[in-house]
C-alpha cells in the first residue's frame, strides 16, 4: 500500500472562485469582487490603477461564480460520492468581518460556514480551511492600504481567533495564506496592494509580506492555544526552477529564483529570516519594520506542515538565449523544450512534482501536503451529455505516480493530496469558466451564461476508484 491508512485524498476550492452570493448574508466587498474578466483583469491583479468598485462596463466572475453559496449541500454530496476524505476550501473574510476591522463578527457568515463544515462532517469529510485565499475586504485597502499596514496583523488575529473558537472540533487543519509568495507576482490579489505612481513596489511588497508572515505566526500560536489538536500549515505556489542549461550562470539564476519563493516558507517553517533575504534587504534598502516581538512570535510559532500547489516546474536562464520562447502568467520564465504544455501554456511535468517534493522535504523536514494540482482544459460535452476528459485523467495519473514515488522511494512524508477545482470553478488568473479543472462539470460559460447544472465527467469515476483503492488503482 503506497499511501498510509489515513491519507487525505480530496480536492480544493477558494471562496471567491466558487461561492458567488457576493452581497448576501451581510458579506462585504472584497478585492476579488472588483477584479473583472477581460483585458483589465491583469492590471487589476497586479495593482496597477485598480478600481475599488464595480461598474456596468465589466463582468465580475466572483459575484455569482458557480453559486456554491446556495448549492453547497448538493456539491459536497458529489465530493462525498467520489469518496473524498478531505475538502480544502477557503473562508471569505468579508462574510465574517464585512469591512475587516469590526469588533464583532457577522453571525450570518459564521453560521454559513458552520453549516458547510457540518455538512462535510456528515459525509465523513475532513475540512481543510484556508483563512485567506486571494481575499481581502476592500475597506481594509481603502482605509489602511492593504497588507502594507501593520494594523492588519491585529485584524487578522481577530479573524483567526474567531474562526478557531467557533469551529473548534469541526475544523482541525488550517492554512494561513494561500500561495503567500504570490504577493511578489499578483500583489493586489495577494495583499490588496494598489501602487501609487513612482512608489517603490519591492519595498511595499516585502513590507506586506512581512506583515502577512507575522500574522501567520500569530494565527499559528492562537490556533494551538485554542485547540492543541489544530494543525496549521503554510502554503506555497511551488514548482522548482530548473536552469535552462548547465551554464553556472543559469544554475545560479535558478537558485536565486527558488530562494525568492522559499523565502516565505523559510520564515514560516524555520521561524526566522534567512541570511540571503537579510542581505538582499540591506543591499536594496528594504525595511520591513521588524520588531523584537515580531522576531519572537516568528521564532516560537513555526507551522506544523508545509502545503503547496504544484501545476508545473519552471525554467530560467540568466540571459535567455536568442529565439527562446518565454512562458508563464504569474511566474515568467523560459519555455522548457523538453516538456509539453497545457492549452494555457503551462508546462506538464509530473517528474517535477517528485523533484519539488524532495526539495521541500529536504529543506524543511516537515510533513508536506499537496493542496493543489490539476490540469486546466477545455471540456466538450458530447451529444449524449458525457464528458470524456481522458487528458485530465492522464495528467493526474502521472502526477499521482510521481507523488507515490516520492513517498515510497524517496521517503517524503506526505499528509494528503487535494486536486484543484474538483468541481469546475472560475479561473483565478483569467476569470474564465472555460479553463476547467473539475471532475464535475458546471454549465456556465465565460460570460456568466448557463444553467449551473452539475454533471459528472469521466474523471469523476476514475478519481472515485483512485480514492477507493488508496492510490493503487490508477
Ligand atoms: C493557484 C490558486 O494559483 O492556481 C488558485 O491558488 C487557482 O486560486 C489555481 O485557481 C489555478 O490557476 P488558474 O489561473 O488556472 O485558475
Measured CA angle at 335 (ends 333, 338), to 5 deg: 135
Q: Determine, yes or no, domain membership for 280.
A: no
Cα–Cα nearest to 315, from 253, 362, 261: 253
Show the cell assigned to 153. 496583523
Query: In angstroms, what is the span from residue 237 Cα to ligand 1's centroid?
Result: 9
Ligand 1 nearest atom to the CA of residue 435, by list position = 15
- Minimum CA distance residue for ligand 1 atom 8: 428
* CA–CA gap between residue 392 and residue 374 (Å, rounded): 8
Query: In angstroms, what is the span from residue 309 Cα to ligand 1's centroid?
Result: 9
- Model confidence over 275-304: pLDDT tens digits? 999 999 999 999 999 999 999 999 999 999
Q: Maximum CA pair distance of the chain?
A: 65
pLDDT at position 11: 98
pLDDT at position 278: 98
Q: Determine, yes or no, domain membership for 279.
A: no
Ligand 1 nearest atom to the CA of residue 376, by list position = 15
Q: Determine, yes or no, domain membership for 51.
A: yes
Question: Residue 320 — pLDDT band, cuts 50, 70, 90?
Answer: confident
- Minimum CA distance residue for ligand 1 atom 15: 427
Looking at residue 448, the DSSP 8-state letter turns out to be S
* CA–CA gap between residue 103 and residue 107 (Å, rounded): 13
Q: Is the ipTM beyond the 0.95 threshold?
A: yes
Mean pLDDT of 197-210: 97
- Minimum CA distance residue for ligand 1 atom 4: 428
Ligand 1 nearest atom to the CA of residue 374, by list position = 11
Q: Determine, yes or no, domain membership for 152.
A: yes
b/e code 210-219 from CB counts within 10 Å (16+ = b): bbbbbbbbbb
pLDDT at position 198: 93
User: What percentage of the chain exceeds 70 in pLDDT?
Assistant: 100
- Model confidence over 74-112: pLDDT tens digits? 999 999 999 999 999 999 999 999 999 999 999 999 999
Residue pair 466/473 in contact by the 8 Å Cβ criterion: yes
Mean pLDDT of 216-240: 98
Q: Verify whether ligand 1 is closer than 6 Å to residue 211 (CB atom).
A: no
Mean pLDDT of 186-199: 96
Mean pLDDT of 249-266: 98
Measured CA angle at 37 (ends 34, 39), to 5 deg: 105
Q: Determine, yes or no, domain membership for 85.
A: yes
From 181, 429, 435, 437, mutation site for ligand 1 pocket: most ligand atoms within 8 A of C-beta: 429
Query: In angstroms, what is the span from residue 89 Cα to ligand 1's centroid?
Result: 13
Q: How many CB atoms lie within 10 A of CB 83?
A: 19
Residue pair 34/136 in contact by the 8 Å Cβ criterion: no
Q: Verify whether ligand 1 is closer than 6 Å to residue 424 (CB atom).
A: no
Above 80 in pLDDT, residue 328? Answer: no
Q: Catalytic residue at 151?
A: no
Question: Residue 389 — pLDDT band, cuts 50, 70, 90?
Answer: very high
Number of domains present in the structure of the chain = 1
Q: Determine, yes or no, domain membership for 2.
A: no
Q: Verify whether ligand 1 is closer than 6 Å to residue 419 (CB atom).
A: no
Ligand 1 nearest atom to the CA of residue 430, by list position = 14
Query: In angstroms, what is the span from residue 310 Cα to ligand 1's centroid?
Result: 10
- Domain at 119, CATH number: 3.20.20.80
pLDDT at position 332: 79
Classify strands 8-12 and 414-420 as parallel, antiparallel or unpaired.
parallel
φ, ψ of residue 454 in degrees (nearest 5): -100, 145
Above 90 in pLDDT, residue 50? Answer: no
Question: Residue 329 — pLDDT band, cuts 50, 70, 90?
Answer: low
pLDDT at position 258: 97
Q: Verify whether ligand 1 is closer than 6 Å to residue 428 (CB atom).
A: yes
Q: Determine, yes or no, domain membership for 215.
A: yes
**Model confidence pTM above 0.90:** yes
Question: Residue 473 — pLDDT band, cuts 50, 70, 90?
Answer: very high
Q: Determine, yes or no, domain membership for 292.
A: no
- Catalytic choice (19, 126, 212, 372): 372
Domain housing 27: 8-240+306-312+344-468
Above 90 in pLDDT, residue 2? Answer: no
pLDDT at position 1: 73
Mean pLDDT (the chain) is 97
Q: Verify whether ligand 1 is closer than 6 Å to residue 435 (CB atom).
A: yes
pLDDT at position 325: 82
- Minimum CA distance residue for ligand 1 atom 9: 428
- Model confidence over 304-313: pLDDT tens digits? 999 999 999 9
pLDDT at position 423: 98
Query: In angstroms, what is the span from residue 64 Cα to ligand 1's centroid?
Result: 18
Burial class for 54, CB neighbours closer than 10 Å (0-12, 13-18, 19+) = middle
φ, ψ of residue 353 in degrees (nearest 5): -65, -45
Query: In angstroms, what is the span from residue 426 Cα to ligand 1's centroid?
Result: 9
Amino acid at each position: 500500500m503506497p499511501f498510509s491508512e489515513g491519507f487525505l485524498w480530496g480536492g480544493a476550492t477558494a471562496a471567491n472562485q466558487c461561492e458567488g452570493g457576493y452581497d448576501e448574508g451581510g458579506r462585504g466587498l472584497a478585492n476579488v469582487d472588483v477584479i473583472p474578466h477581460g483585458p483589465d483583469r491583469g492590471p487589476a491583479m497586479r495593482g496597477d490603477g485598480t478600481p475599488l468598485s464595480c461598474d456596468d462596463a465589466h463582468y465580475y466572475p466572483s459575484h455569482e461564480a458557480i453559486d456554491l453559496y446556495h448549492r453547497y449541500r448538493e456539491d459536497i454530496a458529489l465530493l462525498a460520492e467520489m469518496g473524498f476524505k478531505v475538502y480544502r476550501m477557503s473562508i471569505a473574510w468579508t462574510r465574517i468581518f464585512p469591512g475587516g476591522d469590526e469588533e464583532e463578527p457577522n453571525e450570518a457568515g459564521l453560521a454559513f460556514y458552520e453549516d458547510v463544515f457540518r455538512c462535510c462532517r456528515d459525509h465523513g469529510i475532513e475540512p481543510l480551511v484556508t483563512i485567506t485565499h486571494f481575499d481581502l475586504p476592500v475597506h481594509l485597502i481603502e482605509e489602511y492600504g492593504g497588507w502594507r499596514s501593520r494594523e492588519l496583523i491585529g485584524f487578522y488575529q481577530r479573524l483567526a481567533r474567531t474562526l478557531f473558537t467557533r469551529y473548534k472540533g469541526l475544523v482541525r487543519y488550517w492554512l494561513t495564506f494561500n500561495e503567500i509568495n504570490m504577493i511578489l507576482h499578483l500583489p493586489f490579489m495577494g495583499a490588496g496592494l494598489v501602487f501609487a505612481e513612482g512608489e517603490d513596489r519591492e519595498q511595499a511588497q516585502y513590507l506586506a509580506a512581512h506583515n502577512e508572515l507575522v500574522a501567520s505566526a500569530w494565527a499559528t500560536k492562537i490556533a494551538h492555544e485554542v485547540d492543541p489538536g489544530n494543525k496549521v500549515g503554510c502554503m506555497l505556489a511551488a514548482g522548482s526552477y530548473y536552469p535552462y542549461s548547465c551554464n553556472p550562470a543559469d544554475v545560479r539564476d535558478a537558485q536565486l529564483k527558488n530562494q525568492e519563493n522559499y523565502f516565505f516558507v523559510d520564515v514560516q517553517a524555520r521561524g526566522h529570516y534567512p541570511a540571503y533575504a537579510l542581505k538582499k534587504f540591506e543591499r536594496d534598502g528594504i525595511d520591513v519594520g521588524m520588531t523584537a516581538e515580531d522576531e519572537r512570535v516568528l521564532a516560537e510559532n513555526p507551522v506544523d506542515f508545509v502545503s503547496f500547489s504544484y501545476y508545473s516546474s519552471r525554467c530560467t536562464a540568466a540571459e535567455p538565449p536568442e529565439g527562446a520562447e518565454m512562458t508563464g502568467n504569474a511566474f515568467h520564465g523560459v519555455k522548457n523544450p523538453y516538456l509539453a504544455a497545457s492549452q494555457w501554456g503551462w508546462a506538464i511535468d509530473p517528474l517535477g512534482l517528485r523533484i519539488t517534493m524532495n526539495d521541500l522535504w529536504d529543506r524543511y523536514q516537515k510533513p508536506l501536503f499537496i493542496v493543489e494540482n490539476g490540469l486546466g482544459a477545455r471540456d466538450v460535452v458530447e451529444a449524449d451529455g458525457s464528458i470524456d476528459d481522458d487528458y485530465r485523467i492522464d495528467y493526474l495519473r502521472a502526477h499521482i505516480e510521481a507523488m507515490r514515488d516520492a513517498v515510497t522511494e524517496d521517503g517524503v512524508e506526505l499528509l494528503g493530496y487535494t486536486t484543484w477545482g474538483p468541481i469546475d470553478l472560475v479561473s483565478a488568473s483569467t476569470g474564465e469558466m472555460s479553463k476547467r479543472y473539475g471532475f464535475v462539470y458546471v454549465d456556465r460559460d465565460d460570460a456568466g451564461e448557463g444553467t449551473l447544472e452539475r454533471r459528472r465527467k469521466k474523471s469523476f469515476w476514475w478519481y472515485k476508484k483512485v480514492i477507493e483503492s488508496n492510490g493503487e488503482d490508477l
